[in-house]
Structure 1
């Protein structure tokens, strides 16, 4: 190693501990990351290190493009500046394995750039201390990346083949119970199946999917995962091939090679194939289950709608899980129920945090342009153009993206009707240049 890592007065090297799991669908208690963090503690002790900061991403893939990993992002940010938000110096990282940190070349590049910003940093795993400054250490990191990528491809292919074989045999879909069937996914659920049949008949007769969703809400109907029905979910339920007994896989109906007829599933159908085809004909192709369901190719994939609200994409959930970790799921805009809040930002991950849309947007503006004297983050000319309406939504969002990494939204107090702008806490891109007093005015 080119230089020895700087030690604390205790003689121990301060390091950050990182843990990640790809899935937590069974117990949903974060036990995977907790176990990894415990192993990291043991590894740190064995190599003369002390853990000063914990970072984790529970149930987040590192191999899929577009998946955000807040814990990894914070780790990279703190490594690059050399200390945590509270000023604790970091001289290395401990992790259970390379593939917990990175499975994509861009993530490896980010991690290496951040770790080697200062000389003498350590990277420690159960196999020992790694020198990522040397050519040998870099080659080991690249080999680990290649191995992780190969493993991802093999696992993905095996999983696809497994799903395809089940589909050809007519085995019901895995995953959550489909609406309309019992837990065995074969026997019809009397009440839900009746609702689906009535909805399909009504839709063929000209009724809007939104109206069907309202009727279901009035009856107190909830989805199999507890959500309230809306037009999109009702459309997906009605147009899924399973309602007439057909089996599909990755957005395509499976056909018998001998006859060319659709593969029939092992479950009880709700309607006839003719009724299913009739109800599908009432929707545009982009709305059908075969174009929007699990694994289906998206017809609108290259035509994503532009954000309509100022804070869309910048807000993260600040609710705490039972194990003490912060959710940090994305808050998405959806329709509100009052004139004061015509839209709200809600967390789709834990569903325990939401905030008024206008309140969040106003809080962002207050963060950008503080009202207190002496607190100026952006030029006065920018403030004037912002307030005058000369800047459009897209230009305003670019300014926000240049200033904030994201904003954490704390949960509100039940029954509190006054607006609390301090619920929105910024994560600055240049945090080391912002005074701690830079709170919302």
Structure 2
């Protein structure tokens, strides 16, 4: 019998990831060292298991080859029938960094008698309880080191965020490679997109315009709905930064200003935040397009209200919706839903003619308002309460740290204040949206409306600013001529 036939068949396991690359060993290097160790021990490597760029320290990471190796050890052979009698690794922390994984490995290896295990220092008897305990203790120490590194990394990220220092990685769209200086053409696109969304334009319309203009991401790819939304929603555009999903604030609760040049003002970003936050949780298509039932495709869907009286002598008041009808000049009509859908089903109007009349009425009203006083939105009324709560929270925190108040008093009260502060900040963002929209010039509204520069979403936003609703009064039986007097606008102050 030859020496090759007498050699013990073992498998080699290697893993390389970001947290292990610092030792200079790549996967091929690890397998080469394993081969040398196996030859020195008189073993033969019959298969190599490799998990590239997969951390052994994270519970949610699945290592396919590690799992396949455990399965092979359990049955005693590989998928092709080749018998295996052991495992060889460079060092044990390449194999496992979590106690649970180490216990699973030892159980699989020792499932049968006579199995062998070795690292670059030599063989180890895992059937010996002391050796197994020492290995488990080493895994615990390794896990502690990983947690220390993760904590240091989190503290470093937080410290950089508080100092307003850009993070690593590729440059963001809109900035140059230093992540501080604006890229003029890209920054102008971002700024215009932010203002368009505030004005009511849909992300889909912006995407189509960017694609027609050949605008690409920094990776040279086509812009998608999600990537555009994240770019506009990133507080970096106004000079702020988020960390773990929250704005980075100083001790006084004021957002920390980064060292990079902003694209838009904080108020504009707060308006964007209010818009996107309101859409959170709504269903989306595969491409990320929001399926918001509150955003119809027609100008006055949901704005028109049925004014017909029902059998109880009360007004129907159901929101009317658009329905295709080739008999009308515009190809559609506005109808009151059926009784089963919450309406009366007894009112319908020519869609195109209603749109034409309401459009002219809204434009005239906006022009009148602009001529008289100009659009104004008063200051936000929650500023004093927000500042009072933040000051109270800081004072209570200091008292708790000085042991002047108990945990039972501090934590429930602090949670209530945090909830109220969060509500106030959300209201502040909604007010910023109203303020931003109110500052738009209205003297060219008619030209912009009919030039094709506004899409349906933007036009609906303008109509909503001018009107609460339009009540559609019944026209009687038969096909009567269109009568605009039966449309009753309900204007906003």
- TM > 0.5: yes
Residue 119 of structure 1 is aligned with which of 102, 113, 116? 113
1:110 aligns with 2:104: yes
Distance 1:233 1:116, change over 3 A: same
1:246 aligns with 2:240: yes
Q: How many residues align?
A: 283
Report the CA distance between 1:217 and its aligned residue.
3.6
Q: Once the two structures are superposed, what CA deviation does each residue of 1:282-328 show, in whole Å capped at 9, x if it has no partner?
A: 113685xxxxxxxxxxxx9xxxx9xxxxxxxxxxxxxxxxxxxxxxx
Could you say if the C-alpha distance between residues 260 and 236 of structure 1 is closer, same or farther in structure 2, counting changes exceeding 3 Å? Answer: same
Q: Name the counterpart of 1:278.
A: 271
**More displaced stretch, 84-93 vs 147-156:** 84-93
Equivalence map 1:8-407=2 (5 Å): 9-23=4-18, 32-257=26-251, 259-284=252-277
Give yes or no for contact 2:99–2:140 (8 Å, CA) kept in 1: no
The change in CA–CA distance for 1:214 and 1:238 in structure 2 (over 3 A counts) is same
Structure 2: how far apart are the matches of 1:227 and 1:260?
A: 38
Q: Paired residue for 1:362?
A: none
Q: Structure 2 unaligned segments of length 5 or more: list them.
A: 288-493
Distance 1:24 1:183, change over 3 A: farther
1:386 paired residue number: none
SS in 2 for 1:18: strand
Check 1:253–1:148 CA distance in 2 against 1; reply closer, same or farther (3 A cut).
same
SS at match of 2:166: coil
The answer to whether the Cα contact below 8 Å between 1:20 and 1:58 also exists between their aligned partners in 2 is yes
User: Cα distance, 1:144 vs. partner?
Assistant: 1.6
Q: CA deviation at 1:215?
A: 3.5
Secondary structure in 1 aligned to 2:259? coil
Secondary structure at 1:184 match in 2? coil
Deviation, 1:129, is 0.6
Moved more, 263-272 or 105-114: 105-114
Assess, with a 3 A threshold, how the Cα gap between structure 1 residues 64 and 137 changes in structure 2: closer, same or farther: same
On the 8 A contact 2:13/2:87 being kept in 1, the answer is yes
Q: CA deviation at 1:265?
A: 0.8
User: Does the CA-based 8 Å contact 1:255-1:262 persist in structure 2?
Assistant: yes
Structure 1 residues 194 and 260: CA distance shift in structure 2, 3 A? same
- TM-superposition CA deviations, 1:206-252 (whole Å, max 9, x none): 22234433443444433334443222111111111111011332222
Q: What CA distance in whole angstroms lies between the structure 2 residues aligned with 1:43 and 1:221?
A: 55
Query: 1:126, CA displacement in angstroms?
Result: 1.2
Does the residue aligned with 2:169 lie in a helix, a strand or coil? coil
Q: Give the conservation status (yes or no) of the 8 Å contact 2:98–2:140.
A: no
User: 8 Å contact 1:253–1:262 — kept in the other structure?
Assistant: yes
Q: 1:219 to 1:99 in 2, by over 3 A?
A: farther
> RMSD value over aligned CA atoms?
2.8
| Structure 2 contact 13–49 (Cα < 8 Å) conserved | yes
Structure 1 CA distance for aligned equivalents of residues 21 and 224 of structure 2: 26
Partners of 1:210 and 1:230 within 8 A in 2: no
CA distance 1:286–1:202, shift in 2 (3 Å): closer
How far did residue 271 of structure 1 move?
Answer: 0.7
User: Post-superposition shift, 1:24?
Assistant: 9.1
Kept in 2, the 8 Å contact 1:24–1:58? The answer is no
Name the SS for the 2:185 alignment partner: helix
Report the Cα offset of residue 334 of structure 1.
6.4
Once the two structures are overlaid, the 10-residue window that deviates more, 187-196 or 211-220, is 211-220
Compared with structure 1, are the counterparts of its residues 232 and 53 closer, same or farther at alpha carbon in structure 2 (3 Å cutoff)? same
Aligned equivalents of 1:184, 1:173: Cα separation in 2:
11
Separation in structure 1 between the aligned mates of residue 100 and residue 245 of structure 2, nearest angstrom? 30
Contact 2:242/2:248 (8 A) holds in 1: yes
Bigger Rg, structure 1 or 2: 2
